[in-house]
Amino acid sequence: AQSVTQLDSQVPVFEEAPVELRCNYSSSVSVYLFWYVQYPNQGLQLLLKYLSGSTLVKGINGFEAEFNKSQTSFHLRKPSVHISDTAEYFCAVTAYSSASKIIFGSGTRLSIRP
Amino acid sequence: KAGVTQTPRYLIKTRGQQVTLSCSPISGHRSVSWYQQTPGQGLQFLFEYFSETQRNKGNFPGRFSGRQFSNSRSEMNVSTLELGDSALYLCASSLKSGNTGELFFGEGSRLTVL
Among A32, A41, A106, select the one facing B99 at the smallest CB separation. Answer: A32
**How many whole angstroms separate alpha carbon B55 and alpha carbon A77?**
34
pLDDT (tens digit, 9 = 90+) per residue, B52-61? 999 889 999 9
Give the pLDDT confidence score for residue B1 in this predicted structure.
63
- Counting as low any pLDDT under 70, the low residues of chain A are 97-100
Q: CB of B11 within 8 A of CB of B112?
A: yes
Across the interface, do A44 and B4 touch by the CB < 8 Å criterion? no
Mean pLDDT for all residues in chain B: 93
> Is the model's pLDDT at B100 over the cut of 80?
no
Whether chain A has a CB inside 8 Å of the CB on B46: the answer is: no
Across the interface, do A32 and B58 touch by the CB < 8 Å criterion? no
Among B90, B97, B103, select the one facing A98 at the smallest CB separation. Answer: B97
Residues of chain B contacting residue A106, judged by C-beta atoms under 8 Å apart:
42
Give the pLDDT confidence score for residue B99 in this predicted structure.
65
> Is the model's pLDDT at B18 over the cut of 80?
yes
